[in-house]
Amino acid sequence: MRRALTLSAGLLLAGCAATQTAPKTAQEPLSADVLASQVGEKPTPASPPTGQQWLYGSAEGAVASAQAYRALASYVRAVAISAAPHKQVVLAEGSTPAAPRFDDCGDKPLAAVFDADETLIWNLGAMRYMAERHMDFDPAVWDRWEKTGAGQAVAMPGVVDAIAAMRAAGVTVIVNTNRTAANAKGTEDTLRAAGLGEFRHGETLFLMGDAPDGASKDGRRARIAARWCVIAMGGDQLGDFAQAFNARELSVADRKALATGGPIAALWGHGWFLLSNPVYGPSIRGGFADIFPSDIQWEPK
């Protein structure tokens, strides 16, 4: 049995439509705890996966978040006080990342829209629980986490200050997450306990099930943009910005080119803000031929 925490969690949390499986590669030698796990025992590993070490433990992982949120808050404040007519940063209906259009805001009130998991909050409780048990991502565990995790998830570095700055500038903070509508209260409690303030389901909190397109966030984004002028979005996966990035037919390289090479590239840091998450999600997939250009074939001579 291959473990696929990385991709499975990504599928659920980020609503990826990709079907390609990307089992993590066994880079590690045999060890006593791996051997033990094969015969039914699963002792706690010596340390969390490297991605968790970097993201949740290191100064560098914390700085990456704080730095992004400082830039975001500064951008949002500048736009909020600008006298220029505002435009949505949500793609206009029918437009695409390759040929984007953005609607005028008219006199809608200003808002900024964020994913929750590994964007506003670190899911430390659930991540520790699963990593200590060598667990695959388990939807039943995650469902309990959504219901009962309040107090065991923490605000990411820079988030509390950025939210305060945005609210002080008159910008409403809205969450659009693939946590399920059935667990709305648990997620409201989790966000409050992390110090992010009050979010209300259907007003400032949008969950999977709120629109008919399932794990896509596009339907909810459209509903939000119908009422609000969305001047910034933040997320750790491209699906937090547009579902088109999750199209099945996009290769790893195509997806990267679409996000960084086309007209949409100008939005990063100017309306669209990415948080680094090397722990899970559709960002983490691909074999050597996907990750490295074909002309990269060095060897020591």
Characterize the bridge pairing of strands 154-155 and 121-122: antiparallel
What string marks each residue from 269 to 298 as x (binds its own copies by CB under 8 A) or -?
A: xx--xx-xxx--x-xxxxxx-xxxx--xxx
Q: Is 195 in the site for its own copies (CB under 8 A)?
A: no
Q: In whole angstroms, how close is the CB of 202 to its own copies at the nearest point?
A: 27
Phi, psi angle pair for 219, to nearest 5°: -60, -45
Q: Hey, what are 294's tokens?
A: 């074909």
- How does DSSP classify residue 190? H
What string marks each residue from 39 to 78 as x (binds its own copies by CB under 8 A) or -?
A: -----xxxxxxxxxxxxxxxxxxxxx-xxx-xx-------
Q: Hey, what are 244's tokens?
A: 């088109």
Q: Which of 154, 155, 140, 122 is nearest to 48 (CA)?
A: 122
Other CB atoms within 10 A of residue 68 CB: 22
From the list 33, 77, 108, 193, which residue makes contact with its own copies (rule: CB under 8 A)?
Answer: 33
Q: How many residues bind its own copies (CB under 8 A)?
A: 98
Count the alpha carbons within 13 Å of 196 in the hemisphere toward its beta carbon: 30
From the list 17, 34, 92, 160, which residue makes contact with its own copies (rule: CB under 8 A)?
Answer: 34
Q: Which is nearer to its own copies, 220 or 285 (CB)?
A: 285
From the list 91, 110, 126, 162, which residue makes contact with its own copies (rule: CB under 8 A)?
Answer: 126
Q: In whole angstroms, how close is the CB of 33 to its own copies at the nearest point?
A: 6
Q: In whole angstroms, how close is the CB of 94 to its own copies at the nearest point?
A: 22
Q: For residues 257-267, b (16+ Cβ closer than 10 Å) or e, as one string?
A: ebbeeeebeeb
Q: In whole angstroms, how close is the CB of 87 to its own copies at the nearest point?
A: 19
From the list 157, 186, 234, 271, which residue makes contact with its own copies (rule: CB under 8 A)?
Answer: 157
Note the residue count of the chain. 301
Binding residues among 215-234 for its own copies as defined by CB under 8 A: none
- How does DSSP classify residue 292? S
Q: In whole angstroms, how close is the CB of 252 to its own copies at the nearest point?
A: 5
Torsion sign over Cα 36, 40, 44, 47:
positive
Q: Which is nearer to its own copies, 10 or 177 (CB)?
A: 10
State the SS3 of 49-67. CHHHHHHHHCHHHHHHHHH
Binding residues among 135-154 for its own copies as defined by CB under 8 A: 140-141, 144-145, 148-149, 152, 154
Q: Would you say 175 and 204 are in contact if contact means Cβ atoms under 8 Å apart?
A: yes
From the list 132, 168, 182, 185, which residue makes contact with its own copies (rule: CB under 8 A)?
Answer: 132
